[in-house]
Structure 1
Amino acid sequence: MKALKIATDREQKSDMTSRCQNLLTEAERIKTISQWPLTPAMTPGPASSPPASPLTLRCGTETIGTPTSARIRQLVEPVSSREVSKAEQIILLRSSKLNGFTFPPWQGAPEPDEFALSQGAEAFRDTPQLGLSASQIEFFDGWERAHSAIPPPTWFPGERKALGPTMYSRRPVDLVQDLASDCSVVASLCSWTARAERGNPRMLSKIMYPHDADNLAPRISANGKYVVRLNFNGCYRKVIIDDRLPLSKNTRVLHVIDRRNPSLLWPALLEKAYLKVRGGYDFPGSHSGTDLWIMTGWIPEQVWLENSETDADQLWSRILSAFNKGDVLITLGTGRMSHRIERQLGLEGEHDYAVLDLKEEGSSRLLRLKNPWCEGTSWKGKLPESSTTERFEAESELSALRHAREQGIFWIDINNVLRHFQSIFLNWNPGLFSYRQDVHFTWDLSNRLDSVTCFVNHPQFKIVAKGESIVWLLLSRHLKDRDGQSRVAKEDLAGYISMFAFDRKGARVYLRDGCLERAPYVDSPHTLLRLQPDVDITYSIVIDEEDMSSTPHSFTLSTFSTLPVVLDKAYSPYSSQRLISGAWTQATAGGNVNDPTYSENPQFSLRVVEQIAAAILIQTPSNDVHVHVKLVHGRGRRVYTLTSKDVIADSGQHRRGSAVIEISDLYPGSYTLVCSTFKAGQQADFTLRVDSTSECELRQLPGEGAGRLRLPLADVRFGYSVSRIAAPLVPRRFVCISVVAKFIRSVAFPSNDLLSFDEGQAGARSPLRVTVELGTGPNRRVLIASSGGAYSDAVSGVRTEDVDLSPQMLYTSDMWLVLDRLCGPASGSQEIYGVEVFCDQPKALDIGVWRNWDF
């Protein structure tokens, strides 16, 4: 550091800056190791591993010669032990086709002779070529082999004998993007290489071939063919590319480039392999969490920094230790910003940044970020005040010097990250877990059946977990093939996915209420749900989506755990299912139980022949409609009045879109189901589904008066002192009738005129009885009476059962329809009732006018 301060030559100063930074980084890493120096017994590698040497060569950012990994722990990635079914194998094979290419599941490292160039043979050529955007085509100057494209000829014009691509570099890597729109990819590569610069194990050794086994790094292919192992669509897959790269007409670059080491080839090849999977160099964009999952297989997690529940202290404590151990790769993403805000902050809107380093200095928690754009700006804000130790001053000076040379690299504190960035992307080392299970499935959304609040037709799984185990669930949405097209359609990338965890012992879930945990809804191909049960538990896991395209989609659900878990499909405790469609129409939308028209709602008969457990689900595609279902003692008939004793079970409060009753013991008998909306008059279609442990019968009941003629009568007005009103009935031939009387409103008498009426607000109603009678006086005979002869003030009105009438009954006496109220309401008001008569024959019954009836 002292030599750095007195150095005057620019190259000397640059070289010393790099050395000092590497030493500081190594010192930070050593601070995280509990015992130093490490002894051979502490290393996880073989006992014959040679001791570490300070004189090493780096491949990109990964140490060549004696591996750094010989001095630190290496975590082994777990492999799914679950047997893959035939149906899942078909899903994986179908998912191999993407963007007009085939990417088969990985079967192992290719043989070295696959990359040999036979005498007289041409170099390998991959077809078709990857697409370019319109802005890239403006600068495009053709495809060239690596030996002609790296380093860029416009950067080094003239003779190229001493130039050419290499897989190794002695200096730290400084990757940037230029004309390519893949900031997330380059930020991912920067995060990855920064991890290796901190002394962690190399990651290229199992990713790119041909492979230099001695140096654990890629090597130049003789025939221009490269095989890259990438992780997508349910498994690791084989991606084949050639070494041709797009050239630019000027000094702009169409692929990722190392500004310090422009001859370094592997970043451009890895980028090309990734972009082949994603559709071409005209890549529409992603985020770094997805990119790193595909390139490395490290578990992606997206944390929404704009969420009010995100706590800076908790987040920092989660990532700091893991970052220092090399077990997490971190990138950041901004949201949309105006140009004024971008200039003011020195940040780019809708852009990904790599996190190169973390450190705590006093009370300050700092992140060292890199803007991957070659002309990227740097954060213009100020760092918080912190302790001013000699080491911090020296490192600040180094940072300033490096910033002058490496545009777009800067320090920022965690609070400003939370304030100005939208998301933090964490990719976790899968080797932190000992066990893994994968299940692959398809979800056809071409005919959505469920409301947004109903899960009954969603993919569901059970997870048997042990107490004190850490279980992470990763839902991965497969990239889709568009019938050989070279690009994935935007509508196939649209939409959000999530997961819900329920304590349901692995049984299928009907509604989204009552979950234990929920993964965030994300518009990326992955969402993560972290569980840590205190006791042994069997979860029910439900997959959910919003706004995804109405086509079939494939997914992979993976569990990563510290103890063994069981992953399987959720089970249904019910063996029988009955499904029936219905609708609330203008005539049948009766509203909730407090509405006078409640009995007009659609009703169903449920016949049970033996004791069962059942789930009764109602749902509507109209998500603005709140629904309810009630199971009552109705003998399988339409019900008109309800008391609390009549109700066996109901779905609770009216719920948006769907509601369910789950009952464990339903005894043999006939029951009635009433389906209602919260507001009367709301019209919508619905389905009623009954799942049960044995067969049962479900049928819709006809509406009141269905199949009969409706004879509306004039309204009945009870005056203040009137308690009985009647109308004469004259049957012309044999006829079956029923009578319904419903309260309409109370009307107040004006104080100055008791003979006229003044309509007012609806008031209290008197208990009422309706009868059909023969004769008058003490010898009259009641043919039928409502409510078994009892008076009722039910909001749904009063009604009689069916009664048969014939002209012969009139031979002995007259016939009357009588409305009898028990007593008048408050003094000074009258009551108005509507009366309907339903009969089964046309022109079979004459009804006279209403009159006071004191007989």
Structure 2
Amino acid sequence: MTKTIADAENIYTRAVTYEVENEWNNAFKLYLEAAEAFLHISRSSDSRYRNNAAKALERAEKIRQYKSDLAPISIDQFSKREPIDVIPTASLTSLVLLPSDIIQTIVNDCSVCASIAVCIQHHLRFKSNLLLSSLYPSIHDGRYDLKVLVNGDFRRVIIDDRLPFDHNNNLLGVSTGPKNQLWPSFVEKAYMKLMGGYDFLGSNSAIDLHVLTGWIPEHIDLQSASFERERTWSRIITGFPKGDCIMTVGTNDKTALKIDNVNLLPSHDYAVTDIRESHDERWVTLLDSRICTPSCECDSSACPRVLDMRWDDICATFEGLYISWTPSLFNNTIAFHGSWQPENSEDIPRASTHHLRLNYQKDPSDANEIEIWVLLTRHLRDTRRTSEYIALSVQEDDTIFGNPEDVALKSNYTNSTHVLSRIKLSQNQTSGSLYLLACYDGQFEEVGFTITAYSYSSIAISWDTVVPPPRYTHKIDGTLTSKTAGGNCTHPTYMVNPQYHLRLHNASPSPSTCKRHSANANTNSKTQVILTAHSTRDISLNVTAVWSQGERISELTQKEVVAHSGPYTYGHARAAAHLAAGDYTIILSAFEPDQTGKFTLKVESPSRFEIKPILQEGAGMYAKTVRGEWNSTTAAGAPSQNRYHRNPVYEFNIPCASEFGARLQLLHRAPGVSTNLSLFPSSSSNLQRPITSSGPYSDALSGVDIPKRPLAAGKYYLVPSTYHPGVQAQFRVIIYSTVSGIEVSLR
């Protein structure tokens, strides 16, 4: 609600009273509220009240310096917030200007120049006044205001009309050459002021245009294995001619190509001024905003800064496609403003997350596919900070459908300020929830962010503000080391990954839970379990739950998996499912065995559970590893080949009664090779009757093992073998014992 002058003065008076009474928290809060009210009044009616605002802020700052333990100001993060410093609706007179008139000079802001060029092209085609309508001349001579979208709100950047020139009276920033139009220079100056100065660190047009126009940014990695060339073309050839999107493309830092006598610069943005299909060919027209040569006539179609390229060549040559989409595509938009904060000092350094749930309801009469866009934006406090990374995970809420694979979109960490996820749901899905996980990895303890959700008119969206916290929660801190980082399930070392025994007790659902699950009676006999893992951004994580008796899993069998987090994702992983009461094994793994570092694993459930680490194989025992091979002489095969005694035979002595176990593994993966490990007493010189063995021949990737068992003192033989003779391969045998000093020799 807009406050009057009397309201503002009353708030200030109350703040003074609280300060006199040493009620510091109330005084601090009211001084800030008074400052905001006076600022609003100074902008809308009487500028004299700006001094009142400054005085209120000064008192608040003195209290903050005096009392460092002030309680944080509470904010309704789901409420609609009034824009801060919004500029009145006015604009410059529209000007006739071509994209090729935009010339980049010595300032390293090719993305800004390309952004201005594509906005001009959009205005020429659709009379949109795009970007130009964001620049406002003030009633004060020599002042301009630029409307920008920063940190979740529209704000203004104020500049004067002075521009930097060189000694030859040439603009140092963006120029329009002989046309001498200055509004692009004013836009550039205001944006450079916002970004910290003309020594701009660089950006891309999607980031720039989100600030300058509020359009939705999308960055597509053209060299990614997941890039969809045909689907992307279909999207842009549909949206670009209708004015729904504008685009640029960018090279990487190693590009040094020459196409049609035009040199492509490394780390450079090129404006896309046209796309078209002609004679079964797909064409993209690019414009380079670099400075022209004196002989270049920019109005000519022969301008060397204009380049036509086939779409396939674009995909093969450039690193990124930067698309900006008009928000007018969507009728419904909601935003959440929050901040990342470590939960406590014991958390993983520099990593923090935030969880949200987005509800949606589709009009049943609409037969079209549901599409919801979710944009995560990291707030800027210092544009010189470059070591901050964000990621976004979007998943269908399993508490309703019980199937986390319905929708699972994950982004890897990026140092961009934006991550966009486009979620498509099936046509027969009319309602549900999306679980959002916003992740941050950086060196700062508190960083703001905004999550904005967009949907069409037939899809109502809202934040779930009444999600009950889980009744039971347990958090485990751990470390992936050289001995416990086994990599993904294609590695024979997968079995050494951190594993935990989860015992889940019978569910006792609350009335609200029963009501929520009334559409799916099967879930009533089960309870929800959420597994969330976090690490630093250089570790790609997966968390998997396996039906078991709580024992260590050496080989992952798909039919035993009850929940998993999907593809490995850097820095975070989440698995959720409804599980029956019983025992499970939870496995946390990184994608590669050499990915080591700290992690946290959190287990949440409305039902009681216990979780404890599962000891490594041979834990608390002495280990001895021997390496060997089956060669042309010793690759004798199974006993049925009648040459079993020619296999490598390892002799060892146990000085006293001991617990014993052993594992046989191939040193290099050999699909289809089945192995066995058998233990014989020394009296069995012909290796006829083993004391124990690893069981039937198996081609398990983790190898075969003799489970731990007691052995009396004495001499024994250990025989590794393959089922088929003639298999030449290298292997290792790991022997575990509760006594030390066992010597092993090849007989």
Alignment correspondent of 2:607 = 694
Query: Hey, what does 1:319 align to over in structure 2?
Result: 236
Mark the CA change 1:543 to 1:695 in structure 2 (over 3 Å): closer, same or farther: closer
Q: What is the CA–CA distance in structure 1 between the aligned matches of 2:399 and 2:507, rounded to whole Å?
A: 26
- The question of 1:501 aligning with 2:408 is answered no
Residues 453-472 of structure 1 correspond to what in structure 2 (within 5 A)?
459-466=355-362, 468=368, 470-472=370-372
Aligned equivalent of 2:334: 437
State the Cα distance separating 1:613 from its structure 2 match.
2.2
Is the 1:233–1:479 Cα contact (8 Å) retained in structure 2?
A: yes
1:752-775 residue CA offsets vs partner (Å, 9 max, x unmatched):
xx98979x9x9954399xxxxxxx
For 1:230, what is the secondary structure of its paired residue?
A: strand
Compute the displacement of 1:641 (Å). 12
Work out whether residues 402 and 578 of structure 2, in 8 Å CA contact, stay in contact via their aligned partners in 1.
Answer: no
| In the alignment, structure 1 residue 195 sits paired with structure 2 residue 122 | yes
Q: Does 1:354 align with 2:271?
A: yes
1:490 aligns with 2:404: no
In structure 2, the residue matched to 1:255 is: 173
Q: 2:223 aligns with which of 296, 306, 319?
A: 306
Q: 2:529 is matched with which residue: 600, 615, 621?
A: 615
Q: Confirm or deny that 1:280 pairs with 2:197.
A: yes
Distance 2:593 2:186 in 1: 65
The answer to whether the 8 A contact 1:464-1:537 is kept is yes
Q: Describe the shift of the 1:191–1:632 C-alpha distance in structure 2 as closer, same or farther (beyond 3 A).
A: closer
Between structure 1 and structure 2, the one with the greater Rg is 1
**Is 2:331–2:456's contact at 8 Å kept on the other side of the alignment?**
yes
- Residue 143 of structure 2 aligns with which residue? 225
Q: CA deviation at 1:167?
A: 6.1
Identity of matched residues, % = 23
CA contact (8 A) 1:446 1:550 kept: no
Equivalent residue letter for 1:188:
S
Q: 2:417 aligns with which of 516, 521, 525?
A: 525
One-letter amino acid of the counterpart of residue 708, structure 2: G
Shift of 1:577: 1.2
The CA distance in 2 between the partners of 1:833 and 1:360, in whole Å, is 67
Matched, 1:664 2:560: no
Which residue number corresponds to residue 456 of structure 2? Answer: 562
Q: CA RMSD in A?
A: 6.0
CA deviations 1:667-720 (Å, max 9, x no partner) are: 7xxx6868798999999877664423234455679999999xx999xxxxxxx9
Counterpart-to-counterpart distance in 1, 2:408 and 2:736: 51
Write the distance in 2 (CA, Å) between the matches of 1:429 and 1:640. Answer: 52
The code of the aligned residue for 1:554 comes to: G
- Maintained 8 Å contact 1:584/1:685: yes
**Aligned equivalent of 1:88:** 77
Give the letter aligned to residue 538 of structure 1: G
Deviation by residue 1:86-126 (Cα, 9 ceiling, x = unmatched)? 25389989xxxxxxxxxx724451899xxxxxxxxxxxxxx
Kindly tell me: are residues 446 and 341 of structure 1, through their superposed partners in 2, closer, same or farther at Cα, counting changes over 3 Å?
farther
Q: What do residues 574-629 of structure 1 show as CA deviations (whole Å, max 9, x unaligned)?
A: 4211335567999999999x99xx99998768584865725374868595899876
Instruction: Give 3-state SS (helix, strand or coil) of 1:203's partner.
Output: coil
Provide the rounded CA distance (Å) in 1 between the counterparts of 2:486 and 2:286.
62
The partner residue of 1:473 within 362, 366, 373 is: 373
Q: Distance in 1 between matches of 2:485 and 2:312?
A: 54
Structure 2: distance between partners of 1:625 and 1:280: 39
Q: Unaligned 5+ residue runs, structure 2?
A: 1-73, 509-525, 624-644, 646-653, 664-676, 695-703, 722-733, 740-747
Match of 2:112 among 169, 176, 185: 185
Which residues of structure 1 form unaligned runs of 5+?
Answer: 1-84, 94-103, 113-165, 211-219, 380-398, 713-719, 721-726, 730-737, 769-792, 801-816, 827-831, 838-855
CA positional deviation for 1:231: 1.3
Equivalent position of 1:780 in the other structure = none
**1:529-569 CA-partner distances (Å, limit 9, x unpaired):** 22333232424343465865464332222222213332425
Matched letter for residue 426 of structure 1:
I
C-alpha change, 1:501 and 1:651, in structure 2 (3 Å) is: closer
Contact 1:371 1:377 in 2 (8 A): no
State the match for 1:59 in structure 2.
Answer: none
Change (3 A) 1:481 1:506: farther
For the 8 Å contact 1:521–1:527, the answer to whether it is kept is: no
Residues 207 and 418 of structure 2 are in contact (CA less than 8 Å); yes or no, is this contact kept in structure 1?
yes
**1:323-472 alignment, distance < 5 Å:** 323-337=240-254, 339=256, 341=258, 345-375=262-292, 402-403=300-301, 406=303, 408-444=305-341, 459-466=355-362, 468=368, 470-472=370-372
Q: Distance in 1 between matches of 2:219 and 2:565?
A: 35
The corresponding residue for 2:447 is 553
Name which of 84, 105, 116 aligns with 1:105. Answer: 84
Paired with 2:470 and 2:502, the residues of 1 have a C-alpha distance of 20
Amino acid across the alignment from 2:221: W
1:158-180 per-position Cα deviation (integer Å, ceiling 9, x unaligned): xxxxxxxx966556461212121
Question: What are the superposed Cα offsets for residues 31-83 of structure 1, whole Å, 9 maximum, x if unpaired?
Answer: xxxxxxxxxxxxxxxxxxxxxxxxxxxxxxxxxxxxxxxxxxxxxxxxxxxxx
Q: For 1:445 and 1:498, how far apart are their aligned partners in 2?
A: 16
Tell me, what secondary structure is at the counterpart of 1:797?
strand
Aligned residue runs from structure 1 range 111-130, under 5 A:
none
Contact 2:480 2:598 in 1 (8 A): yes
Name the residue aligned to 1:121: none
Instruction: Give the letter aligned to residue 694 of structure 1.
Output: S
Q: Which amino acid aligns with 2:120?
A: T
Alpha-carbon distance in structure 2 between the residues aligned to 1:693 and 1:361: 60
Q: 1:274 to 1:756 in 2, by over 3 A?
A: same
Residue in 1 that maps onto 2:517:
none
What secondary structure, in the 3-state scheme, does the structure 2 residue paired with 1:402 have? coil
Matches within 5 A, 1:600-611: 606=503, 608=505
- Alpha carbons 2:148, 2:213 under 8 Å: kept: yes
Q: For residues 579-618 of structure 1, what are the structure 2 equivalents within 5 Å?
A: 579-580=475-476, 606=503, 608=505, 613=527, 615=529, 617=531
> Amino acid of the residue matched to residue 489 of structure 1?
R
Query: Quick one: which amino acid aligns to residue 531 of structure 1?
Result: I
Question: How is 1:505-516 mapped onto 2 (pairs within 5 angstroms)?
Answer: 505=398, 515-516=407-408
Contact 1:618 1:686 in 2 (8 A): no
Number of residue-to-residue matches in the alignment: 564
Pairwise mapping of residues 28-39 of structure 1 onto structure 2 (< 5 A)? none
Q: Could you tell me which residue of structure 2 aligns to residue 25 of structure 1?
A: none
Structure 1 length as normaliser, TM-score? 0.52
Instruction: State the alpha-carbon separation in 1 of the partners of residues 229 and 484 from structure 2.
Output: 55
> How far 1:520 sits from its partner (Å)?
7.3
Amino acid at match of 1:558: T
Is the aligned partner of 1:766 residue 2:692? yes
Q: 2:497 and 2:192 mapped to 1: Cα distance?
A: 61
| Greater RCO (Cα-Cα under 8 Å, separation 6 or more) | 1
